[in-house]
Structure 1
Amino acid sequence: MLSQELVKPVILVVDDNPMNLQVLLESLKQTGFKILVARSGESAIQQAEYGKPDLILLDVMMPGMDGFETCRRMKTREALKDTPVIFMTALTEISDKVKGFQAGGVDYVTKPLHHEEVLARVRTHLTMRRLQQQLQEQHLLLQEKHAQLQALNASKDKFFSIISHDLRSPLSAVITGLRMLTDSKNELSDSEQHEIICDARDTTERLYALLENLLTWSRLQRGLIEFAPRPLDVRPLLEQNVKLFAATAAQKQIAIRQTATEPILIYADRPMIDAVIRNLLSNALKFTAAHGSITLSAAQQDDAIEVAIADTGIGMSAETLARLFRLDVRYDQPGTAGEKGTGLGLNVCKEFIEKNGGSISVESVPGAGTTFRMRFPKHCGDHESMAVIPA
């Protein structure tokens, strides 16, 4: 978009006298203004609505509708109410000048016209109009940002309320279990004591994971996480994460495979992308039942690099998908083996991906599985010549 300084201002000149018009037009055209002409009040209103001038030079004494009435009618039109009008008049009485200001004019020049004065007043009011428009634009931007900030704060307030609940409830359960061990130990069997200890351990591990996610998200919001993008081969990251979760997959009898057969290069921060793949693969294992499968893939497309993690798990409804990445909604679906989620992981994944210039999307069918797709822009350099970060 061209800046306002580079766009020629449009001036509408309204005068029924051809001689006055000719002299004034020659003077104005030398300044580079774009000029529109009208010879009556009715024509001036039509020209103004069509041409949207930045300023109007309006003669007062015209047959039919005079300049004062023309100005009054212009000011009733939404598109023209803020357009500055400078009257050109031979009337010199104070009452006539007041009448012009009451009609909506911003200034006047007296006839016979002194062209240096006309140009000076035109330039002054064009500058004032431009500044007014800039202030209006800034005001609208501030209003929009304020609304966005209010929505974000409301979302974060709801989010922290959810997190507080997620912390308080498990901690209460741990405290209750530990009190049972200390206060009623002699009344509990060994198996009951073991069950309480295992529950406390699992809950504490889940709380620790939640706090880790919360701290990561908080550091990301404050710009405290180091961001060091480099040429990165995705395939070794996929392979390493498959190995990392091999034992969990074997325990749940889930087959995992990685289909990328050649280097797939993106320009990204390795720890961030590794964390995303690890989190999404962990979720896929959690929500896939025994004898299911998970496929990790990476491929070059025409305009991007796509990395996908697809499972044959329980899937999600359209309603769940719509609120999946929202801070103010808690997604608390247990896994197929009763695994508990830690919360916030997908939000961290989304922000990590977007930090690296990518995007994430989800496709899911209840009972049939879910696919998370990450898309990253192709690196502009020659991939064969790039020094790739070893995985």
Structure 2
Amino acid sequence: MNAHIKIHKGSLLIVDDLMDNIKLLMHFLAEEGFKVLIARDGEQGIRTAQYAKPDLILLDVMMPGMDGFEACRHLKNEEETKDIPIIFMSALTDTIDKVKGFQSGAADYITKPFQHDEVLARVNTHLNIVRLQQQLQKRNMELQAFATTVAHDLKNPLSGIIGLIDILDDKFTEDCLIDADSVENLQMVSQSARQMLDLISALLLLAGVSSASEVILLPLDMPEIIKTVVHRIEHTRKEFQGVIEYPADLPLAVGYAPWVEEIWINYLINGLKYGGCPPHLKISACVQSDNYIKFSVKDNGDGLSPEDQKKLFIPFARLNKDTTGHGLGLSIVQQIVEKLNGKAGVESQLGDGCLFYFTLPIFHETDFL
């Protein structure tokens, strides 16, 4: 015996106060293989969507009480329903009404009287978009997990290799067991290994920033953070014979200290490498009128053209062939600052150095009571 098995294509919620419309849509959509839920007004539609979490909502615009626009805004403001696509249904054809619908968060618009083929095409299109988005999100999570695992697996043995190279370098140099060219080659190997380690660390940081859905912002002891950073980059400062100036007191901002350290490390190392000869870096901060604090580091280099400034925060971008590094540092800075609800950027004029800055929300004691 052959059994006919109907496969559901997805769940739909119809929100309409007119039963004739509901029956019409419910009949042919159920025949097409959809599971159909119904609600007779905006409030019931919101409750049903929160409980059943349908794949798509067909929402009437003109309803007594809460109209479709208000119901749509409410659904889009709720975490559990904000990602459900909403298609408005209305006899209104004015552009202003359609624009109002899209501004409320709707994905599409169907005008009455309904054309079955049109309704079906629009429903299928938006369900396919949702499925593709879900697949892409899953693939991105899998790729990120893979990249993070590989980076972790590479970091430990590479750190060991660098340690062994340093031991060999010291021993061979002290005992004069190899010539000057061999010592130079060994130092080049060490430098290459350190660059690889820096890239792996940057990728791990980027993965951590990208995957963080929420970060708790706390008051920052910025002078202490900068002091820690300066100590961490002391080797680089000595290499370039740089000077780093920073005030003992700075305005109190909120953020996530480990990420803010990475911002300063990127800005200061860039300043040491590409600032003046020798580099002289000055750190400062000022409170802005928008309740944000602008932290910055000013170098004494040649400055950048407007064209070069646009390239700085693009991942893997390098200004010229002489630029070292992997081109991820400033793009990571930008992602970190945006996660902390701030902005990052650069101000520069040719011949007057560069001022790299980032903003963070100012600390208000009332926010932590």
TM-score of the superposed pair, with normalisation by structure 2 = 0.52
* Cα pair distance change 1:218/1:311, threshold 3 Å: same
Q: Distance in 2 between matches of 1:254 and 1:10?
A: 68
Whether 1:377 and 2:361 are equivalent positions in the alignment is yes
Matched ranges for 1:30-45 at <5 A: none
Matched ranges for 1:311-390 at <5 A: 311-327=299-315, 329-331=316-318, 333=320, 340-382=324-366
Deviation string for 1:168-194 (max 9, x for gaps)? xxx9xx9xxx9xxxxxxxxx9711111
Whether 1:264 and 2:251 are equivalent positions in the alignment is yes
Whether 1:205 and 2:159 are equivalent positions in the alignment is no
1:195 CA displacement: 1.3
Q: Distance in 2 between matches of 1:323 and 1:258?
A: 28
Paired letter, 2:244: I
* Cα pair distance change 1:377/1:140, threshold 3 Å: farther
Q: Distance in 1 between matches of 2:277 and 2:259?
A: 30
Match of residue 139 from structure 1: 126
* Cα pair distance change 1:204/1:8, threshold 3 Å: closer
Match of residue 87 from structure 2: none
* Cα pair distance change 1:191/1:379, threshold 3 Å: same
Equivalent position to 1:301, from 288, 299, 304? 288
Q: Give the SS at the match of 2:289.
A: coil
Unaligned stretches of 5+ residues in structure 1: 12-30, 35-46, 54-80, 86-103, 107-128, 161-166, 179-187, 387-391
Q: Is the 8 A contact 1:333 1:341 kept in 2?
A: no
Matched ranges for 1:192-271 at <5 A: 192-223=181-212, 227-245=215-233, 248-249=236-237, 251-259=239-247, 261-271=248-258
1:357 CA displacement: 1.7
1:382 CA displacement: 4.5
Whether 1:285 and 2:272 are equivalent positions in the alignment is yes
Paired letter, 1:199: M
Q: Distance in 1 between matches of 2:298 and 2:95?
A: 56
Unaligned stretches of 5+ residues in structure 2: 1-40, 44-58, 68-91, 99-108, 148-153, 166-176
Paired letter, 1:237: I
Whether 1:190 and 2:179 are equivalent positions in the alignment is yes
1:247 CA displacement: 6.0
Q: Distance in 1 between matches of 2:227 and 2:339?
A: 23
Q: Distance in 2 between matches of 1:375 and 1:241?
A: 18
Q: Distance in 2 between matches of 1:346 and 1:51?
A: 42
Paired letter, 1:83: T
Determine what percentage of the aligned residue pairs are the same residue: 24
1:345 CA displacement: 1.7
Q: Which has the higher contact order (CA 8 A, sep 6+)?
A: 1
Matched ranges for 1:85-124 at <5 A: 85=113
Whether 1:83 and 2:111 are equivalent positions in the alignment is yes
Q: Is the 8 A contact 2:276 2:299 kept in 1?
A: no
1:333 CA displacement: 4.6
Q: Give the SS at the match of 1:265.
A: coil
Q: Distance in 2 between matches of 1:219 and 1:355?
A: 11
1:307 CA displacement: 0.8
Deviation string for 1:220-244 (max 9, x for gaps)? 33349x9453211212222443455
Match of residue 125 from structure 1: none
Q: Number of residues paired by the alignment?
A: 251
Match of residue 91 from structure 1: none
* Cα pair distance change 1:334/1:308, threshold 3 Å: farther
Q: Give the SS at the match of 1:368.
A: coil
Match of residue 17 from structure 1: none
Q: Give the SS at the match of 2:253.
A: strand
TM-score of the superposed pair, with normalisation by structure 1 = 0.49
Q: What's the RMSD between the two structures over aligned residues?
A: 5.1
Q: Give the SS at the match of 1:219.
A: helix
* Cα pair distance change 1:272/1:51, threshold 3 Å: closer
1:332 CA displacement: 6.1
Q: Distance in 2 between matches of 1:310 and 1:362?
A: 10
Paired letter, 2:357: R
Paired letter, 2:263: V
1:312 CA displacement: 1.6
* Cα pair distance change 1:305/1:33, threshold 3 Å: closer
1:199 CA displacement: 0.8
1:33 CA displacement: 11
